[in-house]
Amino acid sequence: MSAQSADVSATARAHGRKVAAVAKKTGSDSIPDNEWIARHQPWYKRLANHFRRYWEIWTMILPAVGFVLLFNYVPMYGIQLAFRDYDVTKGLTGGKWVGTEYFEQFFRDPLFGEIIRNTFRISLWTLVMGFIAPIILALLINQIASPKVKGFVQTITYMPHFISTVVIVSMINIFLSPGTGLLGRFFGRTSLMGDPKAFTSIYWISEVWQHMGWNCIIYLAALSSVDTALYEAARIDGAGRLQLIRYVDIPTIMPTVGVLLILNMGSILGVGFEKVWLMQNTLNITASEVISTYTYRIGILDTQFSYSTAIGLFNSLVNFFFLVIANYIAKKTSDTSIF
């Protein structure tokens, strides 16, 4: 510490006029403002001071920063592959520049319309239903008076969230198998998994089933912060149970709803790859081919790296666009935003 203060006083002497200015500012002749002096040192001294003080924090965060840079930002740099011909010998970024050729190829692709329609249909259904269900469930669970019963209901509803996608899809397959399955036997000989018309419904219903309980935690947290005086006041004014939900509970969770809606909008074309891929079969492919599965098919299986990167980039850009739009609208209308 003494070395530091000696350093500061030396600087103070060197910047005599500035110190005088500070003294005038603080209204005292004798006490120099150390912070002001530290802020007005040359940049290399400030940098040295910073590292002397915070080198430990840097050692804490550097491993994580390194991982993020390597595994998130290097692939982002590699996006330029979408504008180049992939060349095995030249690696990620060395191929010939071809501009937007691969994007045009995607727009001309005979499957383009079908893939976009499938992606929008599946993700919109999942988004809307997967968004409404947890809100309703949270409002209902919040009505349970006994903490024990409430805890039990929550424990049960969280459970499916931890089941892996592979297991969920195989459960769907077994339950829907025609004739013998738990649900399949009600549909006679028709195979629901092989029916393109049923694909979207199976997808979003199983999504809601799996994640509804987990996603309602955040609303329950918001509801638990309601001031009980509000309920009492509303009761005295003659509000019934449903009116309490309508005029107290729902306004309480609205900010949370807004933020989550924005976050969800960012994945409007982000139908999870794994589940669609696992649910796909040759019979339902016309309804189940989405952007991410097509990227995988073209890229990893057919090794058309540049084309596949272009499709992936198109997907990311559309998602990002919707995120920004949703954020802008929410900011204008309700003062909720994520950035």
Partner 1 sequence: METVINSKTAHMTPEQKAAAGMKRTPTNRHVHQKLTVSDTVADVIIVLILALVLIAIIYPLWFVLVASFSDPTAVANGQVSLLPKGITLAGYAKIFHDSRIWIGYRNTLIYAVLGTAVNLLVTIPCAFGLSRKEFRPRRVIMFLFTFTMFFGGGMIPSYLLMKQLGLLNSMWVFILPGAVSVYNVIIARSFFESSIPEDLFDAARIDGLSYWGYFLKIVLPLSSAILAVIGLYYFVGHWNDYFTGLIYIRDQDLEPLQNVLQNILLANQTKPGMAQLTAAQSQNIGDQIKFGIIIVSALPLIILYPFLQKYFDKGVMIGAVKG
Calculate the dihedral angle through the C-alpha atoms of 104, 107, 109, 113, rounding to the nearest 10 degrees: 180
One of 153, 198, 285, 329 touching partner 1 (CB under 8 A) = 153
Q: Is there binding between residue 157 and partner 1 (CB under 8 A)?
A: yes
Q: Is there binding between residue 223 and partner 1 (CB under 8 A)?
A: yes
Which of 150, 292, 319, 294 has its CA nearest to residue 224? 150
Instruction: Report in angstroms how near the CB of residue 276 gets to partner 1 at its nearest.
Output: 12
Q: How many residues bind partner 1 (CB under 8 A)?
A: 110
Q: Which residue has the tokens 């004798």?
A: 30
Query: Encoding tokens for residue 295?
Result: 């990227």
Looking only at residues 7 through 46 of this chain, which bind partner 1 when binding is defined by CB under 8 A?
A: none
One of 107, 113, 232, 247 touching partner 1 (CB under 8 A) = 232
Please say which residue, 30 or 228, places its beta carbon nearer to partner 1.
228
Query: Encoding tokens for residue 95?
Result: 């191929």
Q: Is there binding between residue 65 and partner 1 (CB under 8 A)?
A: yes
One of 87, 256, 318, 325 touching partner 1 (CB under 8 A) = 256
Q: Is there binding between residue 278 and partner 1 (CB under 8 A)?
A: yes
Q: Is there binding between residue 64 and partner 1 (CB under 8 A)?
A: yes
Looking only at residues 127 through 146 of this chain, which bind partner 1 when binding is defined by CB under 8 A?
A: 137, 140-145
CA distance linking residue 226 with residue 248, whole number of Å: 8
The single-letter code of the amino acid at 171 is M
Please say which residue, 10 or 74, places its beta carbon nearer to partner 1.
74
Query: Which residues contact residue 118 at a Cβ distance below 8 angstroms, ignoring those fewer than 6 apart?
Result: 287, 288, 289, 290
Q: Is there binding between residue 323 and partner 1 (CB under 8 A)?
A: yes
CA distance linking residue 198 with residue 148, whole number of Å: 39
Instruction: Report in angstroms how near the CB of residue 146 gets to partner 1 at its nearest.
Output: 9
Q: Enumerate the β-bridge partners of residue 84.
A: 97
Q: Is there binding between residue 2 and partner 1 (CB under 8 A)?
A: no
Kindly write out the interface string for residues 99-118 of this chain, putting x where it contacts partner 1 by CB under 8 A and - elsewhere: --------------------
H-only helix segments in the chain: 2-14, 16-26, 34-39, 43-68, 74-77, 101-108, 112-141, 147-158, 165-176, 196-215, 217-223, 228-236, 241-244, 250-265, 273-279, 285-288, 291-296, 305-334
One of 6, 68, 111, 128 touching partner 1 (CB under 8 A) = 68
Q: Is there binding between residue 156 and partner 1 (CB under 8 A)?
A: yes
One of 10, 20, 21, 159 touching partner 1 (CB under 8 A) = 159
The length of the chain in residues reads 339
Q: Is there binding between residue 285 and partner 1 (CB under 8 A)?
A: no
One of 225, 237, 332, 333 touching partner 1 (CB under 8 A) = 225
